Amino acid sequence: MTLQREKRQYSWGMVVDVDKCTGCQACVLACQAENNVPLNLQDRFERARAMSWIRVERYWEGEFPDIKARFIPIMCQHCENAPCEPVCPVFATYHNNEGLNVQVYNRCVGTRYCANGCPYIVRFFNYWEPVWPEAFRNHLNPDVTVRSRGIMEKCSFCIQRIRRGVRNAERENRNVVDGEIQTACTQACPTDALVFGNFNDEDSKVSKMRKDDRHYTLLPHLATDPNVVYLAKIDPDRSAGASHG
Amino acid sequence: MASEAVHSGAHSGVHAEAHEEAHHELPARVEPDVTTSELIATTEANATGVRNWMWILGALTLVGIVVAFVKVLIEWSDQDEWGYTAAMVAFLFSAFGGAPLVAIAGTLAKGNWVRPIARFAALCSLVSIICTIWMIPLILNLPMLVVDGARRRSIWFEGPDVSPHIWALVAMITLIISALGLIYAYAIPDFAAMRDHSTGWKQRFGAWLARGWIGTTVQWRTMRMRIGMMGTLYFFTFVFVHFIISTDFAMSLVPGWRDAIFPMYHAISSIQAGLAVTVIGLWAARKYLGLEKYLHLDQFWSIGRLMFAFTLLWGYFFISAFIVFWYGRSGSDQMWIDYLILGPYFWVFILAMLFIWFTPWWWLIWNRVRRSYNGTAIGAGLILLGVFLDRVRLYVAAWTVPEDRIHERFLTEYPSTVYPDVMDIFIMVGALAGSILLILAATRVLPILSIWDVQQFNLLYRPVEYMKTKVSLIGKPD
Amino acid sequence: MSKSVLGLYNDPNQAADAMDALKNAGFAQGTFDVLTGTPYPEGAFGEHVPQHRLFRFPAFGAIIGFTLALFLTAATQIAYPLVTGGKPILSLFAMLVILYEMSMLSAVISTVVGIVIESRLPNVNQGVYDNRITEGLIGVVITTDDDKADTAIDALNGAGAMEIKQA
Amino acid sequence: MQQRRTIDQIHTNRVLLNGQLDTPKWWAPTVIVLGIIVAIGFFLIGIMVNKGLGVTGLSRPVYWGLFITTFVFWVGISHAGIMISAILRLSQAEWRRPVTRAAELLTVFSLLTALLFPLMHAGRPWRIIYFILPYDFARGIMPNVRSPLIWDPVAISTYLTGSTLFLYIALLPDLGNLRDRTTGWQNALYTILALGWRGNPRQWKLQTVGGILLSALMLPIFVSVHSIVSWDFAVTPAVEGWHSTIFAPYFVIGAVHSGVSAVVTMMALMRWLWKWEDFIRPEHFDALARLLIVVATGWLAFTFLELLFAVYGLDAPELELRDMQIFQWPWNLLFVTFLFTGYIIPVGMWLQKSVRNNIALMFWSSLFVNIGMWLERFMIIVPGLARKTPFVYTWEAYRPSGLEWFILFWSLAWVTFLMLLFSRFFPLVPLFEQKESQTFGDSIKIGRVRVPAIVREAD
């Protein structure tokens, strides 16, 4: 039985400081490599079937010439009240007791209902069997399942890394230390815009960052209660505040 | 649930009254001249008893009106003081406004059983006059569409600030016109009967309104067409008024309440209550005006079945909305559940649900209950109580939302429970008394069962011998 | 040894007379029956109106179905308490749908079983019968002892039977 | 409305059993052609399962497309049967008699067809057994009863089972009739199926009471099925166009609209193909058209409320969605087509008595309705997904692939194929109901006219 957020040992989450994001796409690339995400060839984009577990959305603000590019990285928000979870008929996606919205590939039958339920559009369906060029075969991450066609997939907060970190800590009879576990995207982020950690650890970096005045979540009116918290862009021209969502 | 009761002793000859739940005797036909004289007599009969009642009801109505004026003087500016009045108007309109649909639907579907009850059902629509009068303080008290420069959500979108005021009034007046038209279209042959068989002012009144009715084929055909047209008009106005009342006087007062089914839910429970009013009215007419000869179990049984169906429909419409909110659980979805159901009127909701749905469901499901006059009437009483409580839950909750919060995305802090004060109780009793008084007064002029309908019923109905059994033959003219 | 006799009639009124004749000849109500190709109003032939207990079947079925569904939905959720979307483990309103459907399914199935049983079907040995009953003839059938068969045949013929069949 | 006509039972048998005893000449070629189409369809479905859903036009975020639309469409059509046979039976409408069986049959076969669509549109259909059969599988977990996709199969299989049993019970007297008319292996088949039906008062009584009881039980199932299908959509707050409380009754009344229209289409075909002019008569079409006017207008009111309360919230994504649905190419064309074919043209036609009594016009107008109703479902499902939230960044609309279109038309052929197969072995018009209407029909003499009358039992 899943515990409430406060009673969990770990409650994984991420804080995204939008102010620091430069839109460099390093996180996207790192994620693609870490999680065996299939290559997005031209036809995948043309048919609007491209997959990227994390994406950097770009918005234009203002009118030319007074125009600014805004970036916001979006990945699975690992909502506490995730709309995608209860609709799955086979429990292929559910909430585990570390606060993660997990996807169980073996159970998935590919109804794609979860994807319809997700307001952030971060769930992906394998329309085809994934193929990699011969040269790429040996680059696949052995810790991560290669998904077959016909199932859903999405950001897992690099669950393979979390599992290894927790296992190591348990072996040494201690709690996971803050910063010990890094997801591929946080590791790759050159500006530290993405920070991963345990929300239940009062001293963790994410817990401290979350107390910032600039914090907000995406689509708050849907009351999904995400585990990804954003910190708003600091705009010298305007007072800080939630500009997205 | 199923219409067949178990036969026992087809030829026992036991009087129907004694064994209502068993096989009932086929009702005897009544000769046309008897019908006319007896039904005309009901407008005079029992005069002192009815007159006493009318005095009492009149007094209560008057007190209600006086109290309403006092309330206007001292509590005019408090929007949340008017919640119970709004609930009362909604209830009266729901209960009495829904009744004529029984007559209209039955007539359009050419059902023979509906004929004896069509008049009473149509007369109920008179209450729209009372509703309109009581709506005036509500309309004037309705918060503006634009408050502090912010526009609240409403079905009028960018419309002028006074849209709800105007349209509510237009709708109500159209309703009154179509109600009067419906009653009149039904009543012309009866006015002619008054002209021919009454005395004094009633005769002159009948002669005036009968408009030269002598019952030619053309006149009958015109009349049927008029009933069809007025019935359709009434039906559409009825739906429109429910749409207006439910959105302007409830939904759009609660920020975040976006419930597309609500007008239909409102209309469905109104028809349910209308059936209940019809049953109670007929029950009283049968008991106190001595109309046993004309009102049979057939009528009660058929309305009982409809009432049962609409009780289940209420449950269906409620759960259709509820499950969407419960499952969706976005901020405004949760607001709906937390405020309108689990909120300050939780117990009212539980009682409403019990009386409007659960109890009538398990009560009316028994054929034995529906095959008795009292059983059906008890079910009807429960439903009326339930519909009233349901309106209290919805309207009082809506009217107590503070005006400064009305344009938020959704309500986050909920106002506490408001109980009716003495003035509210007097107003509610007065409005109800006024409604009953109006119908009672109308039956002093027009017979409570329409004469021509009853004659038509008997014309198309024959108890006959079929080989070795007795059956009824029902004529189905074009 | 018992014997079945079937009298065929063109006119329903004759069949009704035959029923009367059999009654008057002293045969018990349950031993004779009328066969028609279409339903007639109850008691049209003066026959004994059949009693049935069909209404018990759906009620019984609904209770069984409800219980089964309750067990299935509640037990599986408790056995595998996986949280989805923050909904409670025993989600009453989600279970309600399945409780409802399974109650109704079970009620329908038991009603159908009830109709078959109460109609006294399947009726393996069809007994004496004639094809033309489904073409509009009315059959009056009586099962009686061998020695009384002649009385029955007389009664059937007396009402104007166009044909008598025996088995 | 109901002319009193005397048709003797021998004539009834001869005409209405012509499908079984005297198979028409067109039957075999038609079935073979349809069979070929059906086989091609199954082959294409095989290809799709083998290659993956990439062969469809689905994308992200339009994850559901033509298949789900067609699923909802067939579930909608399936509401014809119980509407006709249960509601009209309970309200003792005489004119239901010739159409009850065909309508129930349409229910059964369209449900069978509808069930195929969610199966074939799943990513891994061979694993779908997980959620259709609620028993523990090797993975040590049970289906999630909180998912509307579990409610769906439960509701639909309940409806399918119930309708099939209902159909069978009402078939018993006619099976007895067929048993009496046939010889050889057919006789053996009907003898077994008829369970030894004799037609005594007890059996007739149970047939009547049972029919009414089953109708009363099927009616709530009928309402629940399409409501549950609608909740598949309505419970997701992420898709603005779907999250509406009106969906359940809106879908149900739309289903009745399309289902009853499909029955009209079928009745016209039955009248023409089997030459049942004596039994399927203009007054039946007239009555159905009057019913349809009421249903269609109710449905239009629900459509209006749905649209009105969609924009009531004035949320940006919702407005964006409605803008696309109503004003942007090609959706504006579809929207206009939907409005005209779903309501304006057919109801405009039905308002005239001459159309209501003209079988050919009724046939075409009922086809219009189903085009409109299919579009209605399409326009709810696809635009809703294509513009669901501010995070939709791929604004390409969905374009169904040729394979999807073929499967849509294949499903029509498949249902027709099943119906024709059935018609070879079982009568499409209930004979005993016809005969019953003869027995119970009578007239009352009033003055010089004889008014048609109906016998009601004393109960």
Chain C contact present for D187, CB below 8 A:
no
What is the model's pLDDT at position B35? Answer: 86
Q: Do C119 and D10 touch (CB under 8 A)?
A: no
What is the model's pLDDT at position D290? Answer: 92
Confidence band, pLDDT 50/70/90 cuts, at residue D316:
confident
On chain D, the residues whose CB falls within 8 A of the CB of B109 are 91
Decide if A194 contacts A200 (C-beta within 8 A): no
Chain C contact present for A95, CB below 8 A:
yes
Chain D contact present for A47, CB below 8 A:
yes
Residue D445 has pLDDT above 90, yes or no: no
Q: Where residue A222 sits, what CATH number does that domain have?
A: 3.30.70.20
What is the model's pLDDT at position B257? Answer: 92
Residue A241 has pLDDT above 70, yes or no: no
Residue D32 burial (C-beta neighbours within 10 Å; 0-12, 13-18, 19+): exposed
Tokens 């963790």, located at residue: A204
Q: Tell me B26's DSSP state.
A: P
Pairwise pLDDT comparison (A80 vs D448), residue with the higher score: A80
Q: Where residue D16 sits, what CATH number does that domain have?
A: 1.20.1630.10
Interhelix angle B83-108/B163-197, rounded to 10 degrees, is 50
Average pLDDT over residues A187-200: 94
On chain C, the residues whose CB falls within 8 A of the CB of A1 are 81, 83, 89
Closest by Cβ to A95, choosing from C80, C84, C94 = C84
Decide if B451 contacts B36 (C-beta within 8 A): yes
Q: Do D123 and A91 touch (CB under 8 A)?
A: no
Residue A241 covered by a domain: no
Q: What is the CA radius of gyration of chain A?
A: 18
Give me A210's structure tokens: 């979350």
Q: What is the DSSP string of C29-87?
A: GGGEEEE-SS---TTTTSPPPPP--TTHHHHHHHHHHHHHHHHHHHHHHHHS--B-TT-
Q: How confident is chain C (167 residues) per 10-residue block, as mean pLDDT?
A: 86 90 86 89 83 91 95 88 87 92 96 93 82 90 86 88 87
Confidence band, pLDDT 50/70/90 cuts, at residue A119:
very high
Closest by Cβ to A107, choosing from D139, D235, D239 = D139
What is the model's pLDDT at position B2? Answer: 36
Closest by Cβ to D442, choosing from B243, B261, B473 = B473
- How many Å apart are CA D100 and CA D83, to the nearest integer? 9
Of A74-78, B34-38, C11-15, the range with the highest mean pLDDT is A74-78
Q: What is the CA radius of gyration of chain D?
A: 23
Q: Which residues contact residue D434 at a Cβ distance below 8 angstroms, ignoring those fewer than 6 apart?
A: D7, D12, D16, D97, D98, D279
Taking residue B181's Cβ as centre, other Cβ atoms within 10 Å add up to 18
What is the model's pLDDT at position D1? Answer: 39
**Predicted confidence (pLDDT) per residue in A87-111, tens digit:** 998 889 999 989 899 999 988 899 9
- How many Å apart are CA D425 and CA D422, to the nearest integer? 6
Q: Å from A143 to nearest chain B CA? A: 36
Q: Which residues contact residue D328 at a Cβ distance below 8 angstroms, ignoring those fewer than 6 apart?
A: none
- List beta partners, residue A12: A198
What is the model's pLDDT at position B313? Answer: 94
Number of domains in chain D: 1
What is the model's pLDDT at position B158? Answer: 85
Q: Do C54 and D218 touch (CB under 8 A)?
A: no
Query: Scanning every residue of chain C, which has its alpha carbon at the shortest distance from the alpha carbon of D223?
Result: C101
Q: Which residues contact residue A77 at a Cβ distance below 8 angstroms, ignoring those fewer than 6 apart?
A: A120, A122, A217, A218, A224, A226, A227, A228
Average pLDDT over residues D269-298: 92
What is the model's pLDDT at position A69? Answer: 87
D443-457: buried (b, 16+ CB within 10 Å) or exposed (e) per residue?
A: ebeeeeeebbbbbbb
User: In Å, what is the CA distance from D9 to each residue of B240, B258, C11, D12, D100?
Assistant: 51, 58, 13, 5, 19
Confidence band, pLDDT 50/70/90 cuts, at residue B381:
very high
Chain C contact present for A17, CB below 8 A:
no
Q: What is the CA radius of gyration of chain B?
A: 24
Number of domains in chain A: 1
What is the model's pLDDT at position B107? Answer: 81
Q: Do A82 and C86 touch (CB under 8 A)?
A: yes
Chain C contact present for A86, CB below 8 A:
yes
| B&C contacts, CB < 8 Å | 38
Confidence band, pLDDT 50/70/90 cuts, at residue D337:
very high
Residue D88 covered by a domain: yes
Chain B contact present for C122, CB below 8 A:
no
- How many Å apart are CA B213 and CA B473, to the nearest integer? 30
According to the 3-state scheme, what is the secondary structure of B360-415? HHHHHCCHHHHCCHHHHHHHHHHHHHHHHHHHHHHHHHHHCCCHHHCCCCCCCCCC
Pairwise pLDDT comparison (B112 vs D364), residue with the higher score: D364
Which residue range forms the structural domain that includes residue A151? 5-231
**Predicted confidence (pLDDT) per residue in B39-89, tens digit:** 888 887 666 678 888 999 999 999 999 999 999 888 887 888 899 999 999
**Degrees, nearest 5: CA angle B284-B290-B292:** 90
Query: Scanning every residue of chain A, which has its alpha carbon at the shortest distance from the alpha carbon of D400?
Result: A47
- Report CA D3 to chain centroid distance, whole Å: 29
On chain C, the residues whose CB falls within 8 A of the CB of B365 are none
Which residue range forms the structural domain that includes residue D288? 9-162+218-425
Residue D114 covered by a domain: yes
Confidence band, pLDDT 50/70/90 cuts, at residue A189:
very high
**Predicted confidence (pLDDT) per residue in B9-32, tens digit:** 333 333 333 333 344 567 888 888
Q: What percent of chain D has pLDDT over 90?
A: 65
What is the model's pLDDT at position B83? Answer: 92
| A&B contacts, CB < 8 Å | 16
**Predicted confidence (pLDDT) per residue in D150-200, tens digit:** 999 999 999 999 999 999 999 999 999 999 999 999 999 999 999 989 888
Q: Residue length, chain B?
A: 478
- How many Å apart are CA D71 and CA A43, to the nearest integer? 29
Q: Do A82 and C89 touch (CB under 8 A)?
A: no
What is the model's pLDDT at position B8? Answer: 36
What is the model's pLDDT at position D428? Answer: 92
- Classify B477 in phi/psi space as left (phi over 0), alpha (psi -120 to 50) or beta: beta
- Report CA A206 to chain centroid distance, whole Å: 15
- Whole-number average pLDDT of chain D: 90
Q: Do D238 and A119 touch (CB under 8 A)?
A: yes
Average pLDDT over residues A124-128: 93
Q: φ, ψ for residue B311 (rounded to 5)? A: -60, -45
Closest by Cβ to D454, choosing from B24, B153, B474 = B474
Residue B205 burial (C-beta neighbours within 10 Å; 0-12, 13-18, 19+): middle
Residue D22 covered by a domain: yes
Q: Tell which residue, C118, C135, C161, C128, has the closest CA to residue C2.
A: C128
Q: Where residue C23 sits, what CATH number does that domain have?
A: 3.30.70.120
What is the model's pLDDT at position D273? Answer: 92
Tokens 């009744």, located at residue: B99
How far the first Cα of chain C sits from its last, in Å, is: 11
What is the model's pLDDT at position A227? Answer: 94
Residue D204 covered by a domain: no
| Chain C contact probe: residue of B12, B323, B467 with most C CBs at under 10 A | B467
Pairwise pLDDT comparison (D411 vs A48), residue with the higher score: D411
**Predicted confidence (pLDDT) per residue in B182-212, tens digit:** 999 989 999 998 888 888 888 888 889 988 8
Which residue range forms the structural domain that includes residue C92? 56-118
CA torsion, ordered B26, B31, B34, B36, to nearest 10 deg: 110
Q: Å from A221 to nearest chain B CA? A: 5
Q: Å from B414 to nearest chain C CA? A: 23
What is the model's pLDDT at position B162? Answer: 85
| A&D contacts, CB < 8 Å | 136
Report B:287-326 residues touching C (Cβ under 8 A): 319, 322-323, 326
Residue A184 covered by a domain: yes
Chain D contact present for C60, CB below 8 A:
no
Residue B405 burial (C-beta neighbours within 10 Å; 0-12, 13-18, 19+): middle
Number of domains in chain C: 2
Tokens 């509808």, located at residue: D114
Q: Tell which residue, B171, B477, C142, B324, has the closest CA to residue D239.
A: B324
What is the model's pLDDT at position D240? Answer: 85
Q: Do C123 and D198 touch (CB under 8 A)?
A: yes
Helices then strands, each counted (H, E), chain B: 18, 4
Lowest pLDDT segment from A125-129, A232-236, B323-327: A232-236
